[in-house]
Amino acid sequence: MKRIGMLTSGGDCQALNATMRGVVKGLHGSFKDVEIYGFLEGYKGLMYGNYRILKPEDFSGILTKGGTILGSSRQPFKLMREPDENGMDKVKAMKDTYKKLKLDCLVVLGGNGSQKTANLLSEEGLNVIGLPKTIDNDLWGTDMTFGFQSAVDIATEAIDCIHTTAASHGRVFIVEIMGHKVGWITLHAGIAGGADIILIPEIPYDIKNVCKALDKRAKEGKGFSILAVAEGAISKEVASLPKKERKAAIANSKYPSVAYEIADQIREYSGTEVRVTVPGHTQRGGSPCPYDRVLSSRFGAKAAELIKEEKYGELVVLKNNEVTSIPLSESAGKLKYVSPDDSIVKNAKMLGISFGD
């Protein structure tokens, strides 16, 4: 009998269920007897022993279902070594649950913070396999995370929809895309949606250059412009501040988000009418796109293969379109940023897209 624990941690995304399904189908194809323990609300379920024993029928029909059948929660890695409100040692509690249930392996579906905790548990002696989930595509060591393409599709559709109203009214529209620290979604959706200006955290912008790009389009007879702006986009002025001052400047901004600040600055500079659209959490919702369904199924099958081979402490990754794995320790604590020198950025600039730099 193989006893496998699974949990989904951090922000949800469209292909969590599809990935769990892939793991379970792969396990049932590899072992005669398998028992699946699904921990509820992420690491919280592992800490407090809240779980469901899942049957094969629980994974039927969920390939196309968004969200997660197990529920999720955010448990910051930096607080994992701190006791909870009742003084409980969180790491010890998770290890105790694992041992009490006599698990052979714990499968963790999560992003950067979740995989740091997965690595911590691996270093504490538990058998752990990580699966790379995040719409941000910022997990180091994998070319692609599941959830990313689905989010890009939704963000692109938002930009597509804005095109018609922007053209009809001759306005400047800002579409604010998710991406607190990295700009992968904004970059891909911006190119796919035909945005004229793309602003991402990794390339600080100069508002004067943004306005110059808008002026250039106006002089060329272009009646409207669309900006794809990452929620973590930052100006050169703020980016140049020392870390503490930079954080304070962002936290104390009078605007609800950077998109509204940029809109105000454009209005002040040119008197142009500007509208802001924020798709927000719709980018996490709905059914996974076909690409993510395939990727998640492949990731799940690879996780089952690693369990069969008893190769633990690994993160399943995509490299050059091949699904493989790397040690959790290689990825933990690292973010995959967009580099200003990435070919995709250079390609976008060749197409005439401005990054405000």
**Average pLDDT of the chain to the nearest whole number:** 94
pLDDT at 166: 85
Q: How far apart are the first and last CA of the chain?
A: 58
Q: What is the mean pLDDT of residues 261-286?
A: 91
Sheet containing 128-132: which strands, arranged edge to edge?
51-54, 34-39, 2-8, 105-110, 128-132, 314-319, 322-327
SS3 (DSSP) at 275: strand
pLDDT at 306: 98
pLDDT at 244: 87
Q: What are the tokens at 208?
A: 């004067």
Q: What is the mean pLDDT of residues 70-93?
A: 89
Alpha-carbon span 42 to 94, nearest angstrom: 11
Model confidence over 119-151: pLDDT tens digits? 999 999 999 999 999 999 999 999 999 999 999
* Residue 86: pLDDT band with limits 50, 70, 90: confident
pLDDT at 85: 85
Which residue, among 57, 141, 181, has the nearest Cα to 329 in the 3D structure?
141
Q: Is the pLDDT of residue 192 over 90?
A: yes
Q: Give percent above pLDDT 90 in the chain.
A: 81
Q: What is the mean pLDDT of residues 18-47?
A: 95
Q: What angle do CA 33, 109, 175 make, to 5 degrees?
A: 150
Assess whether the region 2-147+288-331 and the region 150-284 belong to the same CATH fold. Answer: yes
Which residue, among 196, 199, 238, has the nearest Cα to 216 in the 3D structure?
196
Active-site residue flag, 136? yes
What residues does each domain of the chain span?
A: 2-147+288-331, 150-284
Alpha-carbon span 273 to 287, nearest angstrom: 35
Model confidence over 202-239: pLDDT tens digits? 999 999 999 999 999 989 989 899 999 999 999 999 98
pLDDT at 73: 87
Q: Which fold has domain 150-284?
A: Rossmann fold (3.40.50)
212 contacts: CB under 8 Å, gap ≥ 6: none
* Residue 84: pLDDT band with limits 50, 70, 90: confident
* Residue 3: pLDDT band with limits 50, 70, 90: very high
- DSSP result, 232-251: T--BHHHHTS-HHHHHHHHH
Q: What is the largest CA-CA distance in the chain?
A: 71
Q: Which of 12, 58, 136, 196 is catalytic?
A: 136
In this predicted structure, which of 82-86, 113-117, 159-163 has the lowest mean pLDDT?
82-86
* Residue 179: pLDDT band with limits 50, 70, 90: confident
Q: Which residue has the tokens 């405000």?
A: 356
Residue 78 and residue 300 in contact, taking contact as beta carbons nearer than 8 Å: no
Q: What predicted TM-score, i.e. pTM, was given to this entire model?
A: 0.94
Q: What angle do CA 175, 178, 182 make, to 5 degrees?
A: 115
CATH 3.40.50.450 fits 2-147+288-331, yes or no: yes
